[in-house]
Amino acid sequence: TQLLEQSPQFLSIQEGENLTVYCNSSSVFSSLQWYRQEPGEGPVLLVTVVTGGEVKKLKRLTFQFGDARKDSSLHITAAQPGDTGLYLCAGAGSSNTGKLIFGQGTTLQVKP
Amino acid sequence: KAGVTQTPRYLIKTRGQQVTLSCSPISGHRSVSWYQQTPGQGLQFLFEYFSETQRNKGNFPGRFSGRQFSNSRSEMNVSTLELGDSALYLCASSSVFDGYTFGSGTRLTVV
C-alpha cells in the first residue's frame, strides 16, 4: 500500500517568515503534485513534479522532487496572509489510472 | 473553459437512504475520479472512470458505486447511508495535457 506522510500537520507563523512542508514515502511515484485547498472548495493544483531532483518555482513557492522520486518539499519564502490554507501533496503511481495518493495535508495559518 | 461542476453542493440525508452525486468534467476530459475527504482520513480515492469503464477502484465497501456516461459525465451512488459517510465528496477530471482539476465538491451530511 502506498502512503504519503506529510509534515507538519499544522503550522502557524507570522507574516514574512519562511516555511517548509515535507512529503515522504517509501514508495516511488511517477509524479508528485501539490495542491492548495480553501475551506468548502476543491483542491487547486499548484505544481506537478515528474523528474527526480526536479525543482520548480512559482513566485515565492519552491517545490522539489527527491532524487529517488519518493519525497518532495514545498518551501514558501516570506509567507503572506493570503498563503493561508490547506496544502496537500499527492502522488501518482506508474500506471495512468487517475488514482492519486494524498498526504494528510498541512494547515497553514499566516498571521499579519 | 468551464471547470468541473459538481451537483448538488450540499445534501442532508437520513441513515439508510441512498444518494446520487453528479460530476460534469471539463470538456474533452475523458477521465473522472472520485474522492472522499474527511477530517480524520483526509482525501481517499474511491474510483476512476475512463471512457465509461471503471479503470481503478479504492478500498471502499460495495455500497459505493459509480458510472460514467458517453458524454464523460459521471455519477456516484452511495446506498444504505451510514453516519460515517458524512464527508466532502470531490470529483476530478483529468487529461494527459491538463492534469487534474477538482470540482468544488458535494458536502454530504448523514443524520
Digit-coded pLDDT (tens) for B69-94: 999 999 999 999 999 999 999 999 98
User: For the segment A55-83, what is each residue's pLDDT rounded down to a tens digit?
Assistant: 999 999 999 999 999 999 999 999 999 99
User: For the segment B29-44, what is each residue's pLDDT rounded down to a tens digit?
Assistant: 999 999 999 998 999 9
User: For the segment B15-68, what is each residue's pLDDT rounded down to a tens digit?
Assistant: 999 999 999 999 989 999 999 999 989 999 999 999 999 999 999 999 999 999
Please say if the pLDDT value at position A38 is more than 70.
yes
B99 in contact with chain A, both atoms CB, cutoff 8 A: yes
Which of B58, B100, B104 is nearest residue A41 as measured by Cβ atoms? B104
User: Residue B45 is placed in which grid cell?
Assistant: 480515492
User: Residue B79 is placed in which grid cell?
Assistant: 446506498
Are A63 and A47 a contacting pair, CB within 8 Å? yes
Quote the CA–CA distance of B32 and B17 in Å, as a whole number. 25
Percent of chain A at pLDDT above 70? Answer: 96
Cis peptide before A8 (omega within 30 of 0): yes
Vertex B97 angle, CA B93 and B98, to 5°: 45
Q: CA-nearest residue of chain A to B94?
A: A98
Please say if the pLDDT value at position B1 is more than 80.
no
DSSP state letters, A23-45: EE-SS--SEEEEEEE-TTS--EE
Chain centroid to Cα B55, Å, comes to 14
Task: Kindly compute the dihedral angle of the four CA atoms of residues A34, B44, A22, A12, in this order, to the nearest 10 degrees.
Answer: 90
B94 in contact with chain A, both atoms CB, cutoff 8 A: yes
Chain centroid to Cα A40, Å, comes to 19
Alpha helices, H only, chain A = none
**Three-state secondary-structure class, residue B81:** coil
Are B9 and B89 a contacting pair, CB within 8 Å? no
Contact at CB, A98 and B94, closer than 8 angstroms: yes
> Quick one: pLDDT at residue B96?
77
Identify the DSSP state of A69: S
What is the H or E stretch that residue A21 is in? strand A19-24
Q: Exposed, middle or buried by CB within 10 Å (0-12, 13-18, 19+), for A105?
A: buried
> Quick one: pLDDT at residue B13?
98
Going B95 to A50 to A110 to A85, the CA torsion angle's sign is: positive
Which residue of A49, A100, A106, A107 is the best one to mutate when testing the B interface, meaning the one whose CB has the most B CBs within 10 A?
Answer: A100
Distance in Å from the first CA to the final CA of chain A: 41
